[in-house]
């Protein structure tokens, strides 16, 4: 398989997973409301190939490889009711706690430096 065909195959496999359904999940209806899950989708891929040997005209060979990945992270839900439609974000409490601790630590360090 040539490097172009390898890249094309890899791209098709990854893009097959990276669809709108991966970002907006199946709607869930309950109690007069419809909830639509929303996610962030990231994907990437890479490949490389080579032939022959350097400085050795008798070397014959071909090699190639590639890889990729898809990452889906939930970010919230869309709530649809007869009164309103709203987006409800999912917050990562660990990130908030980390930012708070970093801010407190930085403030303490700045106070220590002034003395």
pLDDT (tens digit per residue) in 48-99: 777 776 666 666 777 777 777 778 888 888 999 999 999 998 877 777 777 8
The pLDDT value given to residue 59: 64
DSSP letter assigned to residue 24: B
Model confidence at 11, pLDDT cuts 50, 70, 90, reads confident
The pLDDT value given to residue 74: 83
For residues 37 and 32, give the distance between their C-alpha atoms in angstroms, rounded to a whole number: 17
Q: Is the pLDDT of residue 12 over 90?
A: no
Question: Do the Cβ atoms of 85 and 38 come closer than 8 Å?
Answer: no
For residues 44 and 66, give the distance between their C-alpha atoms in angstroms, rounded to a whole number: 11
C-alpha to C-alpha distances, 27 to 19, 79, 88, nearest whole angstrom: 15, 10, 15
Domain boundaries, the chain: 3-114
pLDDT (tens digit per residue) in 85-108: 999 988 777 777 778 888 888 788
């Amino acid at each position: 398989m040539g490097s172009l065909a390898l890249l094309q195959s890899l791209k098709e496999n990854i893009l097959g997973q990276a669809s709108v359904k991966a970002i907006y999940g199946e709607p869930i209806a309950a109690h007069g409301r419809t909830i639509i899950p929303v996610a962030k989708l990231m994907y990437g891929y890479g490949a490389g190939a080579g032939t022959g040997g350097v400085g050795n005209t008798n070397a014959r060979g071909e090699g190639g490889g590639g890889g990729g990945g898809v990452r889906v992270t939930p970010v919230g839900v869309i709530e649809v009711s007869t009164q309103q439609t709203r987006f409800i974000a999912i917050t990562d409490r660990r990130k908030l706690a980390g930012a708070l601790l970093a801010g407190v630590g930085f403030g303490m360090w700045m106070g220590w430096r002034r003395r």
